[in-house]
Amino acid sequence: MHCEARTLSDSASTPNTATGDALAASYDDVPYTSAPSPARHPERLATIGQLLGLDVPPVSNCRVLELACGDGASLLSIAATLPDAHFVGVDFAAQPIARARRMADAIGVANVELMQLDIRALPPDLGRFDYVIAHGLYSWIRAEVRAHLMPAIARHLAPGGVAYVSYNTLPGSYMRAVVWDMLKYHTREIADTHGKLVPARALLELVATPVATDSAGQQAMRSEVRDTAQSSDAALAHDDLSEPNIPVHFHQFAADAARAGLAFLAEAHANAMTVAGLAPHVRETLARLDRISREQYLDFIYFRRFRESLVCHSEALSRAVVEPARTLRLHALPSLEVRTAAARGEGNAMDAQASAIVRVLLERWPQSVPVAEIDARRKRDATQASPPTERLVLDLYGAGMIELRTAPISIARVAGERPRAFSAARWLTRDHEVIPSLYHAPLRYRDPLGRALLALLDGSRTRAELCAELGGPFAGAEGPGRLDRALGVLAGKALLVA
């Protein structure tokens, strides 16, 4: 059941400041759609936790808390694939929570509670959660509010749980801050957030124009301006024009977590922690550092500007070393990079044995493959000594060539007579450019006919009825063939439910 709205005004202990009101109003003024990302799925948190030796709870019936859930598009998309799990979404802006409730009702998700609350007003009886998500929050709240965030996560995170926190980081964000400062100066006399967007884009166009005498540094800054100009209205309003927007060094974030009794576990993207491609003497230097210092110096080397960090209770983390044998409990699927290259007919630089694993995953996509099955096949077919499956799989995972998860999902490789698409994607495709796959990957599916088809795939229509309702190119003798091809595209995007 959806809970009744709990609002900031329900808590007399939390100040309702003018700054807080202005920030909430900005999210009401310019909607911020919660875009999907596999990094923010409890599956990703569970997989990394399991690889690092944590006894993480099973995702199928877990409890998930999202702080700053926005319009709930991300949280509800996850909840729709895990009907036996329980989800709580909290946001302090009224309009996003109202939109989230409308989506929940429309797609029939009944395992989510949605609350309009300030993080300083979380009720004592909220309970503990196996996975906590805080995306787009840490850097975008005032320091006195941020002081409550990590303690709140620690208070509500279950003993063996994993939390995700994203934030802007230094030194990379120094370059971004140059653009932020220009935009804020240019729009300083405009009160409402929506009204800032047009003049902000005009300034970006002006400053992005090259000058004949540009130095290499000026060219780099103009490239930064052009990147900002590519942002959506929501990103421009709530990141580049955001007040506040406070990047931090990684070591500051790690210290903040430690004060709350939390420890840095890993990054949500395995390849974000790799040293591949670094010069040998750089790798040797990094190898002599402790984990926290190593991550900080990686930020210096890569000029990192954004992190998606996972934390857990300090006492739950023993070594934070990957245990290869645990890979055999997981399921694997090819990464987007690998699938895109395969669709283009491009080769890869992998050795023969790694390529053989990837071929199996591509053949089975969009379904995942148990790593134990891959291991059994390799042992059955082996004609010579070879690296252990778990080592090959970990190398592919660290290189971003494959993805790992703790459990498979119900997904169709081929559409049936009454095809059914993912309910969250069907609902969001009506007015959102980005929709979620069943793996919670963001899809920019721009084909108007394909999107119209997707919206109709609720399982109630036969193929013939779909052709009749869509009409146009789906009518006539060639209609069934075109429909079959269109459904094949949707299946390849992991959008069809088995």
Walk across the sheet containing 369-370 and list its strands.
369-370, 331-334, 402-405
- Mode of pairing for the β-strands spanning 129-134 and 112-116: unpaired
Note the pTM of the prediction, 2 decimals.
0.90
Q: How confident is the model at residue 165 (pLDDT cuts 50, 70, 90)?
A: very high
Q: How far apart are CA 386 and CA 389, in angstroms?
A: 9
Residues 177 and 159 in one domain: no
Per-residue pLDDT at 18? 46
Q: Are residues 349 and 484 in the same domain?
A: no
254 and 144 together in one domain: yes
Alpha helices by DSSP H, 88-172: 94-107, 143-146, 149-156
Nearest of 263, 384, 353 to residue 312 by alpha carbon: 263
Residues 156 and 116 in one domain: yes
What pLDDT score was predicted for residue 169? 97
Interval 113-122: pLDDT, tens: 999 999 999 9
Indicate if 50 and 74 belong to the same structural domain: yes
Tell whether the model's pLDDT for residue 198 goes beyond 50: yes
End position of a domain, from candidates 271, 287, 316: 316
In a domain? residue 122? yes
Residue 349 has pLDDT above 90, yes or no: no
Return the pLDDT at 10. 32
Residues 6+ apart with CB under 8 A from 252: none
Same domain for 396 and 438, yes or no, is no
Do 380 and 255 sit in the same domain of this protein? Answer: no
Q: What is the average pLDDT score of the chain?
A: 90
Look up the domain containing 378 and give its range.
Answer: 327-405
Residue whose structure tokens are 């929709």 = 435
Q: Per residue, what are the HEC states of 12-47?
A: CCCCCCHHHHHHHHHHHHCCCCCCCCHHHCHHHHHH
The identity of residue 329, as a single letter, is R
d(C-alpha 211, C-alpha 370), whole Å: 55
| CATH code assigned at 159 | 3.40.50.150
| Interval 25-46 mean pLDDT | 79
Bond before 244 cis per omega within 30 degrees: yes
Coil, helix or strand for 142? coil
Domain boundary among 260, 292, 316: 316
Name the band, by pLDDT with cuts 50, 70 and 90, for residue 29: low
**Angle in degrees, 0-180, between the axes of helices 149-156 and 250-259, rounded to the nearest 10:** 50
